[in-house]
Amino acid sequence: MHLVWLKRDLRIEDHGPLFRASLTEKMMAMYIFEPKRMAQPDYGANHHAFIVDSLRELQQELVSLNIPLLYFVGEVVEVLSTLKSRYKTIHLHSHMEVGGGWTYDRDKQVKRWCQQQGVEWIEYPIFEVLRPYQNRDQWATRWREGVDKARFPTPHKQSRPVEPPSFPTMTVEPPSSQQVGLGEPAPQRQQGGRSQGIALWQSFLAERGKNYRKEMSSPVTAFDACSRLSPHLAWGTLSIREVYRVATHAQSTLVSAKHHRRSLDSFISRLHWRGHFMQKLEDQVEIENHCFHPLFEGLRPQKGNRDYLEAWKEGRTGVPIVDACMRALVATGWLNFRMRAMVVSFACYNLWLDWREIRDWLACQFTDYEPGIHISQLQMQAGVTGINAIRVYNPYKQSVDLDPEGVFIMRWVPELCSIPKEYIHQPFEVPPLIELMLNLDRGGYPQPIVDVEQTSKQAKERVFAIKQSLEAKVLSQQVFQRHGSRRKRHSKLEG
C-alpha cells in the first residue's frame, strides 16, 4: 500500500507524492490531526479552519480520481503502526516540512520508526527550501532552478478506489476547531480551498494587482491590492512553483502597462524572499527560541509588562493606528507586511516586550502562518538579528502617511468617528477649546499607555549600545555568513 501523508500541501496539482503514488496499483491519501501538534501554542483556530476547508475540497477532487482520503486523529507513529498491522508492506510518501522544533522532532521520530519497520519513506522537496544546504552563496541560483522545473502532472485516476480500512482513530469528517478545543476562528477569516486561491490569483493578475507596488503598504488599500495568496502558499493549496511560473509569464506578456509590470516584479521578488526567510529556520531551527545574534539575549525581560501586552493584543493601547491594526488582525486573520512590522515594532520597542512573548499569539492570529517567515521577521523587526537595519516605526507618522483620512482607523476604532480628521491620528491632541465646542466623545477610548517618542529613544539607545560593540560586529559577520542574502539588490518582504 502506498500512503500519501498530506501536511502543508493540500492540493492535487504539482504534487509529487500524489503523482508518484498514483503510478502504483494501490494508494491512499491521509491527513493526520495530531493532538500534540494541535496543542502547541503556535497552532490556532484560524489555521485549523483553513485546513478543514481545504481538505473538504481536496477530498472531492481525490474522489473523482478514485483516491480515498482518510482522516485520522492521533499521533503519526501510532497511525502508521496501525496501518502497518493491516498491510504487509507500506510505502510512505510526503513532502518535506519546514516547521519549528516540534515538527522537526516528530519527523525524526517518524524516520526512526520507518527504519525500524523497514518502511520506505520518500520525502519530496518543496522548492522554497533546500535540504540539506549550509552554503548561502549559490542559494538564489538553486532556488531558481527548483521553481523553473516542470510541474508534476495531475495524479493518475485509479481504476477503482481501494477499500479503506476502519480503525478507531479514523474520523469520517475533519474535526472542527471547536471540537479540538481551539475555539472560534476569526469571523472574517479567509476561506481555505484551492478554488479560493485560484479565484484570488486570477483577480490579482487581472485587476487587483495593477497597483500592488504602490498600494501594498497602506492598510486602506492593502486588503484588496495585495494578492492574499499567503495562506494558500502556507498551507499548500497552491504551489510556489505554479504561482511563480504564472507570474513570470504574465509579466513577460504585459507590453504597455509599465506600472503593472513593476507591480508583478515586486510580487515575484517577494516570492523569492519568501523562500529566503524560510531557509533560515531550515538551516538553524534554534532560532525559533533564540536570537540570531547571541548578544541580544536578555536585552528585554523574559516577562514584560502584562498590562501592556494585553492592551496591545486587544487594540486598546491609545495609539489609534496600532489599535486599528490589532483589531483588524483579530477579526480577519491578516495584515499587510508594513502594518505587521509596525505593530511588532511598537510591541518590542515602545512596550519593550520580548519577541518571544508575542510570537505564538501572533502566529495563531495569522491564517498564513509560515514558521520560517514568522520567526525571521519577528527577530528582524525586534532588532535582534545583528544583520538588519534597526527599524523603529513611528506609529503616528505611519498613520499620517498611510491612512491620512483616518479611513482605516475609523473602521476599526469606531469610538473615534466624531474626532476631527486632522486629530484622528492623535485624538488626545485636540485643543481644549475645540473639544469643548464640539463636545467630543471618544467612547471610552484610552489615553496612550506609553510616550511613543520617549520610549522609542530609550529603545534605540539600548539596542545600539549592543550593536555598536566590537564583539557584536564580529558575531554579526558570522550570522551574515550563515543567513545573509547574497543578492546585490535588497528588497523587503511585503504583501
What pLDDT, in 10s, does the model give residues 284-326? 999 999 999 999 999 999 899 999 999 999 999 999 999 999 9
**Section 34-57 average pLDDT:** 98
How far is it, in rounded angstroms, from Cα 3 to Cα 119?
Answer: 11
Residue 471 has pLDDT above 60, yes or no: yes
Fold annotation for 294-483: DNA Cyclobutane Dipyrimidine Photolyase, subunit A; domain 3 (1.10.579)
CB 492 within 8 A of CB 337: yes
51 CB contacts (<8 Å, ≥6 apart)?
A: 10, 31, 174, 192, 235
Per-residue pLDDT of 253-282, as tens digits, reads: 875 577 788 999 999 999 999 999 999 998
- The pLDDT value given to residue 126: 86
As a whole number, mean pLDDT of residues 411-437 equals: 92
Rounded to an integer, what is the distance from CA 134 to the centroid of its chain? 23
pLDDT in tens, 191-212: 999 999 999 999 999 999 999 9
% of the chain with per-residue pLDDT over 90: 79
Interval 91-114 mean pLDDT:
95
Query: Among residues 309, 344, 347, 321, which one has the least CA distance to residue 426?
Result: 321
Distance CA 118, CA 140 (A): 36
Q: pLDDT for 226-240, tens place per residue? A: 999 999 999 999 999
What pLDDT shows up at residue 343? Answer: 98
In this prediction, residue 27 carries a pLDDT of 96
Average pLDDT over residues 40-53: 98
State the pLDDT at residue 257.
Answer: 72
Average pLDDT over residues 116-135: 86
How far is residue 70's CA from residue 15's CA, in Å, rounded to a whole number? 18
The predicted structure's pLDDT at residue 134: 66
Place of cell 507570474: 247
| pTM metric for this prediction | 0.94
Q: Which CATH architecture has domain 2-124?
A: 3-Layer(aba) Sandwich (3.40)
**Overall fold of domain 194-283:** 1.25.40
* Res 385 pLDDT > 50: yes
CA distances from 367 to 241, 265, 427 (A): 21, 25, 32
Instruction: Point out the least confidently predicted range of 2-11, 22-31, 252-261, 277-286.
Output: 252-261
Give 408's pLDDT tier (boundaries 50, 70, 90): very high
The answer to whether the beta carbons of residues 413 and 320 sit under 8 Å apart is yes
Q: What is the pLDDT of residue 494?
A: 35
Q: How confident is the model at residue 487 (pLDDT cuts 50, 70, 90)?
A: low
Domain map (residue ranges) of the chain? 2-124, 194-283, 294-483
pLDDT at 176 over 90: yes
Is a pLDDT exceeding 70 seen at residue 99?
yes
Count Cβ neighbours within 10 Å for each residue of 212-229 and write b for 16 or more, e otherwise: bbebbbbbbbbbebbbbb
Instruction: End-to-end CA distance of the chain: give it in Å, rounded.
Output: 42
